Structure 1
Amino acid sequence: MFYGANEQIKFNIMIQGFLIIIFFIVFIVFLGVIGVRNAKNNEDSLGKTPINKFLFILAKFTFLVPWIISLFGAVKPEFLPDYYSNELAWVGVLLITFGFIIVIAGYVQLGKYTRFGLPTKESKLITTGIFKYSRNPMYLGLFLMIIGIFFYFPHWILAVCVIISIVLHHQITLAEEKFMEHAFGKEWDDFKKVSKRYLLW
């Protein structure tokens, strides 16, 4: 579709692609910084997988695949699918932006307690800041980001990945919340009364 686009559309596609690349790079670098920081503090970034290990890896894989595919469209706009819509792509970029901000805010607030999986050492229940509005802001942010990627690069492969990733990450959320309930008891019960699982529910 790129070859038949006018100059304004081509410019929009270029800006959208640039933002997609920047978000991906910054996100990967940020995760790397978390890993390095935890390593320096003798903290393990990887916790215990809350669900079946294969499904846990599949959840992460199906989140990553849409990013990788969309990067082809960002670098080579002629790879964008025929269903590409400039307006929908901008909606996608906005969703990615909001999701990115939410994810970063959640990780920053967790600080040294950040774990990818269930904690195996000392942990703390964070109930302030962004966690006042969402018990799982990182997953909320991931959902917004991956849906935004699909809006930018509407393809059936991405649609399948989005559905699988959201379903599996929801199962991860439920398993992690069950762990938190056992770990923090009444403190967790009180927290659930004032903060939604994601945002509206």
Structure 2
Amino acid sequence: MARYIAATTLFLLVILVLSRAFQLKRLGIKVIHFGELDKKDFLIPPFALLLFYIVFASAFGLPKVGAELFHNEFVGFLGVAMCVMGILLFLYALISFGKSFRVGLDEDHPGELVTTGAFSISRNPIYSAFGLALIGIFLIIPNWILLIYVFTGIWLFNRQILLEEQSLKKIYGDKYTEYCKRVRRFL
């Protein structure tokens, strides 16, 4: 059952991002800016597909890639809790973001600086939600390849956050600097 929750978590995250992108596109807002400022972003999709395969293979009995490091039901339930918390935080962040939601950096049409809702407890609730979900999935499916994904994902999230912070300082100036003094980078 927990493995189905891991697969559902990945599926929901993708559906939520795409549905929000389509909602805003109908309002004339271009949301997807993936790879426009950093072409290395295009290295991510093949690795994302491998992640999806490992999780779905584990949940649905497909041929597996990589070996599991341990099996512990309690740890699996902790993973389920982290996945649920990740999805809920992600939803809260999407709602809080409103029309300012973007995938990638958009310096031409950034939207308003959002500092309320989920953004009043973390400057990066979406990355925090992804991190919770990724760690949760690893705890459910403790595959050694997923462990590499956890460390790599956290490193990539931090890299992207640092790039975004530079961009946000340039766009919003002192308003963003003051916000950074009040609110933590992560949870």
Q: Could you say what the CA RMSD is over the residues aligned between the two structures, in angstroms?
A: 2.3
Q: Return the alpha-carbon distance in structure 2 between the equivalents of residues 99 and 146 of structure 1.
A: 9
- The answer to whether the 8 Å contact 2:100/2:113 transfers is no
1:105–1:58: structure 2 CA closer, same or farther, 3 Å change rule? Answer: farther
Residue 66, structure 1, aligned to residue 51, structure 2: yes
Residue 173, structure 1, aligned to residue 161, structure 2: yes
Counterpart residue number, 1:103: 90
Residue 34, structure 1, aligned to residue 20, structure 2: yes
- The answer to whether the 8 Å contact 1:92/1:149 transfers is yes
- The answer to whether the 8 Å contact 1:67/1:149 transfers is no
Counterpart residue number, 2:103: 116
Letter in 2 for 1:197: R
* Percent of aligned positions that are identical: 23
1:196–1:64: structure 2 CA closer, same or farther, 3 Å change rule? Answer: farther
Q: Return the alpha-carbon distance in structure 1 between the equivalents of residues 46 and 134 of structure 2.
A: 12
Q: Whose radius of gyration is greater, 1 or 2? A: 1
- The answer to whether the 8 Å contact 1:50/1:176 transfers is no
Q: Return the alpha-carbon distance in structure 1 between the equivalents of residues 172 and 105 of structure 2.
A: 13
Q: Return the alpha-carbon distance in structure 2 between the equivalents of residues 185 and 96 of structure 1.
A: 35
Counterpart residue number, 1:190: 178
- The answer to whether the 8 Å contact 2:3/2:140 transfers is no
Q: Return the alpha-carbon distance in structure 1 between the equivalents of residues 36 and 124 of structure 2.
A: 14
- The answer to whether the 8 Å contact 2:9/2:133 transfers is no
- Structure 1: state its 5+ residue gaps: 1-14
1:50–1:148: structure 2 CA closer, same or farther, 3 Å change rule? Answer: farther
Tell me by how many angstroms 1:192 deviates: 0.8
- TM-score, scaled to structure 2: 0.87
- The answer to whether the 8 Å contact 1:105/1:130 transfers is yes
Q: Return the alpha-carbon distance in structure 1 between the equivalents of residues 169 and 88 of structure 2.
A: 27
The count of aligned residue pairs is 184
- The answer to whether the 8 Å contact 2:113/2:172 transfers is yes
Q: Return the alpha-carbon distance in structure 1 between the equivalents of residues 142 and 54 of structure 2.
A: 11
Letter in 1 for 2:22: V
Partner of 1:19, secondary structure, is: helix
Among 93, 117, 122, the residue aligned to 1:129: 117
Letter in 2 for 1:85: N
Q: Deviations over 1:70-106 (max 9, x none)?
A: 2211122995836222111111111111111111211
Q: Return the alpha-carbon distance in structure 2 between the equivalents of residues 171 and 101 of structure 1.
A: 24
Q: Return the alpha-carbon distance in structure 1 between the equivalents of residues 44 and 127 of structure 2.
A: 12
Counterpart residue number, 2:71: 84
